[in-house]
Amino acid sequence: DQQVKQNSPSLSVQEGRISILNCDYTNSMFDYFLWYKKYPAEGPTFLISISSIKDKNEDGRFTVFLNKSAKHLSLHIVPSQPGDSAVYFCAAKNFGNEKLTFGTGTRLTIIP
Amino acid sequence: NAGVTQTPKFQVLKTGQSMTLQCAQDMNHEYMSWYRQDPGMGLRLIHYSVGAGITDQGEVPNGYNVSRSTTEDFPLRLLSAAPSQTSVYFCASSLGREETQYFGPGTRLLVL
């Protein structure tokens, strides 16, 4: 049972435009959400996170939105750059629990 | 700081062989964990440790053993490798269980 779902395996976006990556979760106990970015042959690197007490968190070009009622979060990248081409993983946890549950990932390709 | 290091980068095993995947971190992190990444499955937690001498099972622990004799090292042992253990293995560490996890570069394992 996949508790964190990323339904789009891949996404292509023109350089300079907005990239929107989506993530849905089913476990209502999750209250902390993270996005990780992964380049080939490297480990995932932390990008941005959001607590369930917020509905938006921003860090430079990256913004994460959380819709608790819909159990949905999204990552916006504006403007998209070629270096953003990577696989993006959504992850969730219960803040009192160390275990992270990951989604299956979305491969983002930025077209120059 | 080297961060989180993993050895080997790539390994081929025959069914029934044993081996140890090494993981070390030089950030004095208390929390360490092992994940496996399989196509279409995201990253799944195998085992984790909240400090030296303390380990616990994650989502997919069967076929794997761990120990944590020092803060720096967290080896993952495959006692009798099976083709189902063909995967990419990532080690991660964090300052505490609530902190952001830092991942190593991964070990790609092929079991024939």
Handedness of CA B45, B67, B105, B98 (dihedral sign): positive
Per-residue pLDDT for A38 more than 90? yes
> Which residue in B73, B96, B99, B78 sits closest to B14, CA to CA?
B78
Closest CA to A23 of A79, A63, A75, A101: A75
Using one digit for the tens of pLDDT, what is the confidence trace for B1-43?
779 999 999 999 999 999 999 999 999 999 999 999 998 888 9
Q: Which residue has the tokens 């049972």?
A: A1
CA dist A10 and A34 (Å) reads 19
Kindly compute the dihedral angle of the four CA atoms of residues B97, B101, B102, B108, in this order, to the nearest 10 degrees. Answer: 100
pLDDT band at A77 (very low <50, low <70, confident <90, very high): very high
Instruction: Note whether B45 contacts A: Cβ–Cβ < 8 A.
Output: yes
Residue among B44, B48, B105 whose CB faces A98 most closely: B48
Kindly determine whether residue A102 and residue B44, on different chains, have CB atoms separated by under 8 Å. yes
pLDDT in tens, A13-28: 999 999 999 999 999 9
Instruction: Give chain B's mean pLDDT.
Output: 94
Q: Cα(B38)–Cα(B58) distance, rounded to whole angstroms?
A: 16
Confidence (pLDDT) at B13: 97
